[in-house]
Amino acid sequence: MNSMEKTRAFLKSIGLPGGDAYDLPTSEKRFSDGGQYRFEVPGIQGPAVMEALLEAIDKYGLYLHRVTQTKGIMLLADSDITRMVKMAKDAKTDLILAIGPRATTDTSASVNTPEGVRMGYRLRGQEQVVRAVEDVKRAASLGCRSFLVYDEGCLWLLNEMRKAGEIPVDCKFKVSAHAGHGNPCSAKLLESIGANSINPVRDIQLQMLAAMRQAIDIPIDIHTENPQSTGGFIRHYEVPEMIRVAAPIYLKTGGSVAQTHSWESSVDDAKKRAKQVSLVKRVIDAYYPEAVQSPKGSIR
């Protein structure tokens, strides 16, 4: 056995895949309701846009399991959060708010440089961590229970606070693609420190996604399409295989409507994102009709 074979053997001995899963095995894991996939629409930055999205989705005869705001809690008024929480409850969907301030909102300029951009939106300094926690406490007091996390240390802390009852024990944390994770070992680490779902890098390939699924039990969130700033590529025809090999999976749909991750979405954008969901659903129905979608209202 050579050195690489020994490395692969050790990975398998600790419950991890020995390499990427080129055989693309079918995942037998499911959401608690038995579903294989759920729909999520990201980049919905305020109540007016959220209202337009939910109305448009309903007209297509579809429903969402998640609506995600990505610009940051600090840019929402209390009344905005309250309205969005109520709309989510009425539509039986989950509302995820992004934790901020993030690195781009403090005094650091390095994130805007070619080298510094690699750090994503991770927090710089303990004051930023404290402020992020305050964002969670504020949104939780207004009824939100699901949060988008960009920093692994912040995730670890929030999980400790959740266990200690410092924040509501039913809070859920989703790790952003901007954290830059794309392998089973990273996914396992995130799961171990409190992640309730993980969004890997946007261009992760199917064999990599299948290997990641072997390592963790929590849902994986995958972009079916992307803003121009992250490549602009559309993966609709890969969705049936994504579901098969990576269930349980959240399909993040509608991103190609935006120019950037933090695009200030409009009512028109919301309608276009709803259409994208309908296009992805068409592909699923055509090429993997036996795939099981979670029922409406399944958000935990």
CATH number of the CATH domain containing 147: 3.20.20.70
For the chain, where are the alpha helices, taking DSSP H only?
A: 3-13, 47-59, 78-91, 126-141, 152-164, 184-192, 206-215, 239-246, 267-287
Does 14 map to a domain? no
Does 174 map to a domain? yes
Q: What amino acid occupies position 118? A: R
- Mean pLDDT (whole number) for 2-29: 97
Considering only residues 265 and 151, tell me which one the structure prediction assigns the higher pLDDT.
Answer: 151
Does 296 map to a domain? no
Tally of CA atoms within 13 A in the half-sphere of 252 that contains its CB: 28
**pLDDT grade, residue 111 (50/70/90)?**
low
Strand, coil or helix: what is 67? strand
Does 12 map to a domain? no
Q: What is the pLDDT of residue 258?
A: 74
Does 201 map to a domain? yes
pTM beyond cutoff 0.85? yes
Domain count within the chain: 1
Residue 203 lies in domain: 23-287
Q: What is the per-residue DSSP string for 153-200?
A: HHHHHHHHHHHHTSS-TT-EEEE-GGG---SHHHHHHHHHTT-SEE--
278: burial class by Cβ within 10 Å (0-12, 13-18, 19+)? middle
Does 202 map to a domain? yes
pLDDT digits (tens, 9 = 90+) for 192-250: 999 999 999 999 999 999 999 999 999 999 999 988 877 888 999 999 999 999 999 99
pLDDT digits (tens, 9 = 90+) for 268-295: 999 999 999 999 999 999 999 999 999 9
Task: Tell me how far apart the alpha carbons of residues 288 and 96 are, in angstroms, rounded to a whole number.
Answer: 28
Does 5 map to a domain? no
**pLDDT grade, residue 262 (50/70/90)?**
low
Residue 265 has pLDDT above 90, yes or no: no
- Mean pLDDT (whole number) for 252-270: 81
